Amino acid sequence: MQPFISISGPAAPLMAANVDTDVIIRIERLSDFGRDQLAPYAFEAWRFRPDGAEQPDFVLNQDAFRSAPILLAGRNFGCGSSREGAVWALNCIGVRAVIAPSFGGIFRNNCYQNGTLPVVLPEEVIDGFAAIARTQPEAPFTVDLDRQVVVPPNGKPVPFEIDALRRRGLMAGQDDLGLTAQYAEQISDFQKRDQVDRPWVWIDEGLQKN
Amino acid sequence: MTLGCGVPRSAALFKKADQGNSDVQRTLFDKVWDSHVVAEMGDGYQLLHVDRNLLHDLSGGKALADLEARGLSVRSPSLNVAVPDHAISSAPGRHATSTDISARLAPIFRQRAEAAGIRYFDVNDPEQGIVHVIGPELGLTLPGLMITCGDSHTSTQGAVGAIAFGIGSTELLHVLATQTIVQAKPKRMRVRFDGALGAGVTPKDMILHLIGQIGAAGGDGHALEYAGPAIEALDIEGRLTICNMSIECGAKMGMIAPDDTTFSYLAGRPFAPKGVIWDRAIATWRGLPTDEEAIFDTEIVVDTGLIAPQITWGTSPEHVAGVVDRVPDPADAADTAQKTAWEAALDYIGLTPGAPLEGTAVDHVFIGSCTNSRISDLRHAAKIADGRKVADGVSAWVVPGSQSVKRQAEAEGLDRVFEAAGFQWREPGCSQCVAANGEVVAPGKRAISTTNRNFVGRQGPQARTHLASPTMAAAAAVTGCITDVRKLMDT
Ligand code: SF4
């Protein structure tokens, strides 16, 4: 997975609350296409009209934001379905960081597995960023994970919180499998003990009907 | 107090719990969580043992392939179970390859699962069904277990006192390879449903009402426990419906303390323990309910008796109202983010602010999904359908949640009731809940669905979804419009 240290570029304001993963990527696109082929389908219900033409009002269809690496979003971004394809679709259109007041919990974990940074900041701060992005669409924001700050164009750095373990994983380019390779022995010990303590979990070496 | 659809989320509903001695007094959630910690990873993260991991057709075959590509194998095959449900057809006479997508996914899924030594229930096997329906039904889902599945509605299975939650594709690889998962411990929230349900009001209405009150992010970062007399009075199927939609208020996990209702539901199920091991298990499970003095980070109380039958009006489950209410006005939204979302939702769904919800014409009705496709759901819906006819110009489907539900319904003659009324009686699976199998609601059509998500395009591009209970769905089918089901019930 691609490490995340710091990125700079335009920040696209997509400010509605509760943007769900179904609308980020339709489920059937994930079985029809590989994880790096999703760019044409990200947000398709909003990017395109039923006749296939571009919806000119949609923020990601505005020239400055077409390949914006940063998304400014409303609360509970990425709620709903567990599909990791939502993060892959964002990556396909070049989004590497999403700044929102809160995120869907599964989506947030999926970000950490793909080198994508979910940044939590207060709604007022993001509203302020969105106002800047609307008036100066090309002006670059910087999201710096090393320093844990977002720097708006010509503005003061705004610090954000992130769990140390997640920061480490993102900066090293390691997903969860990378983080837990060292625990094999503890897992064996747990399972051995558990087969004695909770045999109903392990009936007949597993789920044999009895 | 009931909150109408236009009323913003009420801060008064949240009250902080008093401080107390939390060292010895633990919640149901803490007890189950703590017993699964394999290792402390630092920074508040823990490595947790996963007792059951369930695989479905949309992501299962791919996950097993990706695992191999990373040079890994399945660590504990016997703790994993696989079943096709999302992509398969629900048409009568269907088989594994009846839809294009299933033809691509199902054979590989089966072959890879079997090669990995994972139990696989095939499309027309007697155990097949929607993954969250068959877990409890087969006794795979037990109190005190840690359960994962690459599907956000895994929260359903918390209804028997398990911690059950959805995970992404990479997390799924992690579970397959290590039988563990990396998680930070969420906060705890208890929702007490006081009082009792009114006539014509169902568990679906309880959970939709809650989502309407606390919002689609109201449970963010929390594990929910549902408690109180109205929960204790529910059978397991009703509890499954409630826990199912925990994720719709932003909580990955929702659970209910196991009690005698739970134990008698599970006793004798194919994979539930038997004999002395059952006795030992019960003794352990009796210790799981939340201690009296245990502290929750947040407590919410709902007056169940004031809940009316619910119906959604927008494109988030929090866009919900009583059926007697009116479509809200974006001018009344609490803030800009909500206003933007409401405007977009009303535009998509094709409703006018201020119009009554009741009487809105519908095109299609779908009764099914892991929220509401169990035998009690079908019995209640059949009661409304019995002796009536699906309205002209309306199509209506019933998709049982599992083969077992289907067999039981047919033994009771429910299939004949539905068919006589003009409903289609179909084969078990997810079907139109997510339309991944191509069974879409046509563009622009308005559907009343017993499912859990009314998102943009969820049931197909441009499809307009209203979430409701099985009886409300049946009522809409026979009247052709959104209807207060209480008007069709014998009193
Ligand atoms: S029925 Fe719907 S919500 Fe449930 S598992 Fe299937 S697609 Fe997901």
DSSP string, B412-441: TTHHHHHHHHT-EE--SS-GGGT-TTS-PP
Smallest CA–CA distance from A48 into chain B, residue? B461
Instruction: Report chain B's mean pLDDT, rounded to a whole number.
Output: 94
Neighbours of B104 (CB within 10 A): 16
Output b/e per residue, B174-212; b: 16+ Cβ within 10 A: bbbbbbbbbbeebebbbbbbeeebeebbbbbbbbbbbbb
**pLDDT band at residue B138 using 50, 70 and 90 as cut-offs:** very high
CA–CA gap between residue A80 and residue B18 (Å, rounded): 32
pLDDT at B22 > cutoff 80: no
- Residue B30 scores a pLDDT above 80: yes
Residue B6 confidence (pLDDT) above 80: no
B224 within 8 A of B491, measured Cβ to Cβ:
no
Distances (CA, A) of B433 to A25, A31, A81, B316, B381: 16, 17, 12, 14, 17
Shortest CA gap B355–chain A (Å): 24
Residue B112 has φ and ψ, to the nearest 5°, of -70, -40
Cβ–Cβ contact B144 with A under 8 A: yes
Ligand 1 pocket (Cβ < 6 Å) reads B 85-86, 130-132, 151, 153, 369-370, 430, 433-434, 451-452
Give the integer Cα–Cα distance in Å for B68 and B74. Answer: 9
* pLDDT confidence bin for B272, thresholds 50/70/90: very high
pLDDT given at position A204: 64
Start-to-end Cα distance in chain B: 25
Q: Please give the Cα distance from A49 to B348 (Å, whole number).
A: 12
A187–B contact, CB cutoff 8 A: yes
Are the C-beta atoms of B48 and B175 separated by less than 8 Å? Answer: no
Q: What is the DSSP string of B60-111?
A: HHHHHHHHHHTT---S-GGGEEEE--SSS--STT--TTSSHHHHHHHHHHHH
How much is the ipTM here? Answer: 0.93
pLDDT digits (tens, 9 = 90+) for B210-231: 999 999 999 999 999 999 999 9
Which residue in B has a C-alpha nearest to residue A209's C-alpha?
B271
Distance CA B129, CA B424 (A): 18
CA distance B460 to chain A (A): 9
pLDDT at A203: 67
Q: How many CA atoms lie within 13 A of B377 on its CB side?
A: 35
What is the tens place of the pLDDT at every residue in B344-374? 999 999 999 999 999 999 999 999 999 999 9
Strand partners, B163: B146
Task: Characterize the bridge pairing of strands B52-56 and B45-49.
Answer: unpaired
Q: How far apart are CA B244 and CA B240, in angstroms?
A: 6
Torsion of CA A50, A56, A59, A62, to 10 degrees: 140
CB-nearest partner of B140 from A187, A207, A210: A207
Q: What is the pLDDT of residue A209?
A: 42
To probe the interface with A, which of B37, B38, B100 has the most A CB atoms within 10 Å? B38
- Does B336 contact A106 at a Cβ distance shorter than 8 Å? no
Q: Find the range with the poorest average confidence among B194-198, B337-341, B388-392.
A: B337-341
Q: How far is A192 from chain B (nearest CA, A)?
A: 12
Rounded distance, CA B261 to CA B143, Å?
12
pTM of this structure: 0.94
